[in-house]
Amino acid sequence: MNDQNIEPSVEVAHLRRLLDVQPGCLMRLSADGTVLAANDAALTLLGVTSGAQALGRDFAVWVAPDQIDRWRAFAMGVARGCPASIECDITAPSGDRHPTVFHGVPLSEHPDGVASLAVAARAVSGQRQLEAAIVELEEQLRERDDERLSARARLAELEATRGQLLERVAAFEADLQEREAESDEQGRRLHQLAADLQARDEALAKADAARRAAELDCARALADVRQLEMALEGLAARHQRTTADPAAERLCAIQARLDEALATCQEREAEIGRLGTAHETLAAAHAAATVEHERLVSAVREQAAQLAALADGAGRIAVSPLAPDGAVGQGAGREEARRT
């Protein structure tokens, strides 16, 4: 069909319908801001369901109160013939504010003769949210980049610290092994000293037993000597009393017995002398053994102090947070074994 054959009224109605259903918001406002016409998208923007709810009303009703002066200045400027744009917040019936951009052009030759302006509107709340989200994401990305750089720097520091800790752990383990070797050597020396001390103690005990036995023998020998002296004295007295006795053989027998007793006394005296010498030797040995015993006790105490110091040092190494768990357990086990 040729457009020239369409009746003007039909064409006007069709064009109005196209304006009403297009997705962009279009409105015609008077110079004072009264709504003269609005398409469906504009009505939706204003939060109304029909044109009757918007036509004939001042558009400033939907403008945020703090922006009405700016809106009126915009409308008056466009009505005077100056196209312009403005961004204002539209207040919905729910009270929410929706940022909206308005573009206005003057309509000076409208068929109804009313000075007016055509206004196209576009809500920018979604775009604002998107821009805000983009800004927030960019900020998060910058923060993540900063955190990643910081984490890398921290990781490098931790790696360097780990290397230092490993070196210190190796040094501690070497020192611990050296101290354990020294401790084992000192333990062997201490064991040898303990064995020597025990041997000296046994020798002292034997010497004391021999000395006591010698003292008993000396006491018995002295008692025998006194008894023999008393017997000799008695025999001598009896010999003086019986010098006139004709029984010469009896006197000879008595004399022989006296000689035997005297020889026995001399042997006992010699034995007593030897026992005395042995007693003096044992006393000197006992004194020397006592001195050696005191020296060994002092050496044992010194070795025990050194072992305690080594144990304290090994204990501090064993509980150090720098040492691995395995090394700590082995050191603690060896220290417990040494204490046992």
- Average pLDDT taken over every residue of the chain: 78
Q: What is the pLDDT of residues 133-142, one digit of tens each?
A: 677 778 888 8
pLDDT recorded at residue 130: 66
List the CATH number of the domain containing 72.
3.30.450.20
For the chain, percent of residues with pLDDT exceeding 70? 79
If one compares 130 and 122, the residue with the highest pLDDT of the two is 122
Please report whether residue 207 resides in a domain.
yes
Q: Report CA torsion sign: 308, 314, 315, 320.
A: positive
Query: Domain of 270?
Result: 175-339
90-99, 123-132, 233-242, 249-258: segment of lowest average pLDDT:
123-132
pLDDT recorded at residue 230: 85
| Same domain as 181, residue 114 | no
pLDDT recorded at residue 296: 79
Distance, C-alpha 256 to centroid of its chain: 102
Question: Which residue's entry shows tokens 């005296």?
Answer: 269
List the CATH number of the domain containing 232.
1.10.287
| Same domain as 296, residue 222 | yes
Residue 104 pLDDT exceeds 90: yes
In the structure, how many helices (H) and strands (E) does the chain have?
A: 6, 5
CA distance 60 to 44: 16
| Same domain as 189, residue 92 | no
9-23, 114-128, 255-269: segment of lowest average pLDDT:
9-23
pLDDT recorded at residue 13: 61
Nearest 5°: CA angle at 38, between 37 and 42?
A: 160
Q: What is the pLDDT of residues 7-63, one digit of tens each?
A: 655 555 655 665 665 778 889 998 888 999 888 888 888 888 888 888 999 999 999
Q: Which of 108, 123, 138 is the last residue of a domain?
A: 123
Residue 131 pLDDT exceeds 70: no
Query: What average pLDDT does range 276-290 have in this prediction?
Result: 79
CA distance 101 to 119: 10
CA distance 231 to 264: 13
Please report whether residue 140 resides in a domain.
no
pLDDT recorded at residue 323: 44
pLDDT recorded at residue 322: 44
If one compares 339 and 129, the residue with the highest pLDDT of the two is 129
Please report whether residue 117 resides in a domain.
yes
Query: How many separate domains does the chain show?
Result: 2
Band (176; pLDDT cuts 50, 70, 90): confident
| Same domain as 316, residue 192 | yes
pLDDT recorded at residue 316: 63
| Same domain as 262, residue 202 | yes
pLDDT recorded at residue 83: 93
| Same domain as 109, residue 14 | yes
**DSSP tag of 96:** -
| Same domain as 192, residue 119 | no
| Same domain as 330, residue 217 | yes
| Same domain as 116, residue 232 | no
| Same domain as 198, residue 116 | no
Residue 304 pLDDT exceeds 90: no
pTM for this prediction: 0.36
CA distance 221 to 230: 14
Please report whether residue 136 resides in a domain.
no
Please report whether residue 268 resides in a domain.
yes
Q: What is the pLDDT of residues 309-336, one digit of tens each?
A: 877 776 665 554 444 444 444 444 445 4
pLDDT recorded at residue 192: 86
| Same domain as 333, residue 198 | yes
Please report whether residue 132 resides in a domain.
no
Please report whether residue 14 resides in a domain.
yes
Please report whether residue 156 resides in a domain.
no
| Same domain as 186, residue 328 | yes
